[in-house]
Chain A
């Protein structure tokens, strides 16, 4: 089974510097999250609340989206529906063409990554300028984000300094963090000047009031959404919540889980374009609601829990597999545990099914998820969907990973373990023949000594030691 993912795994594990960078960053984020929730009881009740709010949002998704469209429209926000990423790109393009914009300022948005917006706009001759520091760094390096809240987490200070030196030779060279951020700030200020269009993501959209919530730490998001004449917000349809009073709980969970901050430096609540008498803000606000497979996920009562996600990345930060691989090895927009349940559903099990296998099911992700998505349970379910022969399933690529040899082995194993006499005869035989057991069992023994079969099974030893068979 040599897939693209398998090759990427090997390559990722050989990159010691990247692994070290990611590990250090992860450890820092794990510590910060722990300190942000000093009281375990409070943390758990907050998680209960968050899970309930998000479960309600997902359960009522169709009606909440309709309400959101109504309230947003009432606020003067123009609402667009996009079934696929390509549709969403076309909508963005249409808005930009109408506004006569040949460039766009971008705040951080994973949905725009999902759409492949930057490449699309480039092909149309429109420049997309990232403004989030992490996004700037990876844009300069021609890379994709390796983490959903810290896109350049795999790079250390020296690498960023070298990148800046190469791309901004006119600026004074920077080494320290403060110098590097100051340099980025200087360069960015020039970029913000005179731009006619800005694009952002959405953390939560409130159906009740037609409000778009956006959190950030650098202020670039606020500049993208207020400075240009046109603001385009893109969001996955699952980001809707019913009421404004549910937002504080979710924000508290989001920022504490993500970076350990009680609140981010900026919390933007966007409720429409500039009104008469207001001094700033865009003259037009567009909201693009992207489905891209989400309504299919929504159709399954168990898997739809995937849509509760608030993109805090705590699952990534605590995942031992992500810590070893980093985000790029997954080859998807969303990496780590959430990516491993989301991407196989968005793209199909035939294409991304192996991601659901790249987990030891250790449960660290579910232990920290602020909205209690049962990630290991859903991974198990996706593994089942991948090999299941059951007739009907809404899951894309259902049954596509069932292999004749593998399923034959499991059937044989199952028959043996379901027939205790056969099981005992087999284990007895293996015990007697244990000297013939191979000492090399690749890939297991590439890095480990092989376990040795015992001469006498516990079944036989228990009987010999006088333990009775029946009550």
Chain B
């Protein structure tokens, strides 16, 4: 019973805050409305017994949205994001896409022949889900993760305007290094 109440509160909350993202006139409010929507979507995971995933989604979403708020407001066209703004661009097109996607997904939910539950839920659903998703592909996943990380690092290194020859001279012997500032960002 209480699970159903929590689920519906979260479902309605997620939709309402999701709509609020496009109704509010401030970048900061839009960001945190989106965050609230994500948190509402994470709580049903806890109801499914996926406590690790649920708490992790909350953790990562908060962190991600705060970092995103910093960059969004920094890069928005209005000064520091302090001016009223709207999140909606290409209003007609986005409306069509949003309504279309919703209709397709909703009809899918109603029309699909959902399977009946067979057997009992596992003792540790998070572990079972991890095995189902990763299973024998764990090594592949780890290598892919490492590859992605290496890509990020090399992209930053390539994009950085100053290299070690700028800092230490042509024969890398200049000490102390020629840095515009002390600390990071040199």
A and B are interacting partners: no
